[in-house]
Amino acid sequence: MRSSVWSALCLILCLSLGLAGCAGVALTPEPSSATPLPSLPGPTATAEPAPATATSPAATATPLPTEPSLTPTEPSPTPTEPSPTPTEEPLPTPTPPRDLSAVRIDLQPVASGLDQPVDIANAADGSGRLFIVEKPGRIRVVQDGELSSVPFLDITGRVGSEGSEQGLLGLAFHPDYVRNGFFFVNYTDRQGDTVISRFVVGQDPAQADPSSEVVILTVDQPAANHNGGQLAFGPDGFLYAGLGDGGRAGDPFGNGQNTQTLLGKMLRLDVDRGQPYTVPASNPFVGSSGFRPEIWATGLRNPWRFSFDRSTGGLYIADVGQNEYEEIDYQPAGSPGGENYGWSIMEGLHCYPAGEACDRTGLTLPVAQYDHSQGCSVTGGYVYRGQQFPSLDGIYLFSDYCSGRIWALAQDAQGEWRMAEVGQANIEPSSFGEDESGELYVADLQSGQLYQIVALP
């Protein structure tokens, strides 16, 4: 998500223009170039400007007075022995993606009546259920197109959701959920601080036990925005958590490049050993002076949705920009971690602040970006690995919260990243998700609708 200022502006705009109703969402795909940008190190795709039916001005925020950087009050667990990595089956070779210029998608309504949906997950338990996270503090269940009237979990009394980027923000089911019933959530508490907790499903599989909460990690938040919130288990069996830089504009606390705080980082935790967790011995900064050992990657502003390709294990991170550029970062499977994605040295492929020189040494540049003539706040998605639409196989789909544009991103046979706009919807896409079979879905924050992504002939 973007700053609180932008949330208010977008809400006013949406109320004045009206949102899509239950009849579905009309997509107006625009042709766009899929030519990679070769001028910077590494293959990078940049969206070319395309005529739009709905555009948003550049997001701007007025920096507030600088405050001291806050770091978590809990000491970092020190790994005393190697943390075993779960045995994995070899990942299959992905099918080469189709020509992106020929891809067009549509959104088909699945369910309505959700209250500010911000995340979509499945339990991989064979039930076919989709679990939808509602910002105020509930998890709802959609099964066979029906929204259950009874929440799977309701912790609204513990969640602080007054700020536009606060609330119950993330959900991840344990890989062995069928056996242990564990799932993990990320929320901001009544004081506005980040809490990552574990819960257990109750005797009734349709409801979790609210009293089963075990707090895994808390992180002090110096401002109300840039909380990140995504949780996901990687192919290695470890829990990954994305945290924003602590908020306000321009990283006034300096957290993006501060390796002694968890803010502005991707974390990697072993939640199967130790109380409440241990640090995997294979984390890149274990034993390094001046680094929190939980850190997997640095230099993030506000990672609003990241996901692993279920076929290749590659990690895609959508990082919300400041005033000019939105970006997609990529970490290939097998990476030892330790990437620095650049914030606040850079915004997208450009030095930050604009017009100033910067040292890009050691930075991992984004594989794709777009500017604020095409939107204002990126919403990360997934690589399609379902069976219903073979033309989408291997393509990463993501969107912009303000403009509703949807893009496709993939590498060609030469390893160059290519990006093309494949649709535009009259919604505010707050999150993507995938079901057990790999079909993809997107949620509209304002209307409370859930849609399935389908490919057009």
Which pLDDT tens digit goes with each residue over 62-104?
A: 333 333 333 333 445 555 444 444 444 455 555 555 689 999 9
- Per-residue pLDDT of 150-208, as tens digits, reads 999 999 999 999 999 999 999 999 999 999 999 999 999 999 999 999 999 999 999 99
Q: Which of 27-31, 220-224, 373-377 has the lowest mean pLDDT?
A: 27-31
pLDDT at 31 over 50: no
Percent pLDDT > 70 in the chain is 79
pTM: 0.85
pLDDT at 412 over 90: yes
Name the strand (E) or helix (H) holding 4. Answer: helix 4-17
Closest CA to 171 of 108, 109, 129: 129
pLDDT at 216 over 60: yes
Q: Which residues contact 355 (CB under 8 A, 6 or more apart)?
A: none
User: Could you tell me if 256 and 300 are in contact, meaning their C-beta atoms sit under 8 angstroms apart?
Assistant: yes
Closest CA to 226 of 240, 212, 246: 246
User: Could you tell me if 187 and 155 are in contact, meaning their C-beta atoms sit under 8 angstroms apart?
Assistant: yes
For strands 303-308 and 350-351, give the pairing. Answer: unpaired
Provide Rg for the chain, Cα atoms. Answer: 20
Confidence of residue 23 (pLDDT cuts 50, 70, 90): very low
The pLDDT of residue 45 is: 75
The pLDDT of residue 76 is: 52
The pLDDT of residue 97 is: 52
pLDDT at 49 over 50: no
3.40.50.720, 3.40.190.10, 2.120.10.30, 3.40.640.10: CATH of 4-60+71-455: 2.120.10.30
For strands 440-444 and 450-455, give the pairing. Answer: antiparallel
Which residue do the tokens 């994995």 mark? 88
H, E, C per residue of 326-338: EEEEEECCCCCCC
DSSP type of residue 392: G
Q: Which residues contact 211 (CB under 8 A, 6 or more apart)?
A: none
Closest CA to 410 of 346, 314, 334: 314
User: Could you tell me if 29 and 422 are in contact, meaning their C-beta atoms sit under 8 angstroms apart?
Assistant: yes
For residues 43 and 375, the model is more confident at 375
Residue 150 CA to residue 147 CA, distance in Å, equals 9
Percent pLDDT > 90 in the chain is 78
The one-letter code for the residue type at 163 is G
| 351: three-class secondary structure by DSSP | strand
Segment 130-151 shows an average pLDDT of 98
Q: Which two tokens stand for residue 10?
A: 């977008």
